[in-house]
Amino acid sequence: MSDNDTYKTLKEPSEGIYKEKGSKFLAFAYPVFTEDEIKEHINVLKKQYHDARHHCYAWKLGMDNNHYRMNDDGEPSGTAGKPIFGQILSHELTNVLVVVVRYFGGTKLGTSGLIHAYKAATKDAFENAEIVERTVNDILTLTFEYGAMNDVMRIIKDEEPKVLEQDFNLSCKMILSVRQSGSGALVDKLKKITSVKVEKDEPVK
């Protein structure tokens, strides 16, 4: 069983909090799949907590470790976004956004104090979250003639992909979701059937 098509993320949004010398750090963690989703969550929090001094965040998408961002939002460089992102990495999560909203309490915490505060708030949000393992799935669209129905259905029964849609008329169409590590074998079997055409869409994470 291959592990390169599985990842850990949050089942649903969660929250955390850290308080230090009058300052409050409110952490909001979300499972996300696109940058548009990320922007929407950040915008909503900035409106909801418009009176806060800072809205710092970090996020990571996908499994290649190249798609991420960190933002200190006015805090000294490296004291907010980086420790938030560090917690994402240490919990081995992806497809996740964490925004930490800070209310300033009047006393400066210093560089080490800020780093600890943003780390602690993020850690609290993750400890309050349910972490789940998900698979990366390929989406396959099959088109075939009605006469090939039995052969196609036999393979689907053996390989057990998830059937998302099906339409059986004079020409038949099915949309399947299959774990990426098993996608190649399924496609190879289907293509051996005369009249079957297979198109692969972008993987779903």
CATH classification of the domain holding 12: 3.30.230.30
**Shared-domain flag, residues 184 and 84:** no
Would the pTM of this model clear 0.85, i.e. be above it?
A: no
> What is the C-alpha separation between 34 and 30, in angstroms, rounded?
12
In this predicted structure, the answer to whether residue 131 has a pLDDT above a threshold of 60 is yes
What's the CATH code of the domain at 169? Answer: 3.30.70.1150
Q: Output the pLDDT for position 48.
A: 97
In a domain, 45, yes or no: yes
Domain count, the chain: 2
**Shared-domain flag, residues 113 and 32:** yes
In a domain, 205, yes or no: no
DSSP-derived letter for residue 143 is E
Q: Output the pLDDT for position 181.
A: 86
Collapsed DSSP state (helix, strand, coil) of residue 37:
helix
Residues in the chain: 205
**Shared-domain flag, residues 46 and 35:** yes
Q: Which of 13, 23, 22, 19 is nearest to 99 (CA)?
A: 13
Alpha helices in 70-191 (DSSP H): 81-90, 110-127, 149-159, 180-191
Range of the domain at 164: 136-200
pLDDT single digits (tens) 68-115: 999 999 999 999 999 999 999 999 999 999 999 999 998 999 999 999
Domain final residue pick, 99, 133, 167: 133
**Shared-domain flag, residues 42 and 141:** no
- pLDDT-derived band at 1, boundaries 50, 70, 90: very low
Residues 49-64: what's their mean pLDDT? 94
- pLDDT-derived band at 63, boundaries 50, 70, 90: confident
Please answer whether residues 200 and 187 qualify as being in contact, where contact means their C-beta atoms are separated by less than 8 angstroms.
Answer: yes
> What is the C-alpha separation between 59 and 54, in angstroms, rounded?
16
**Shared-domain flag, residues 71 and 118:** yes
Stretch (H or E) spanning 43: helix 35-48
How many helices and strands (H and E) does the chain possess?
A: 5, 11
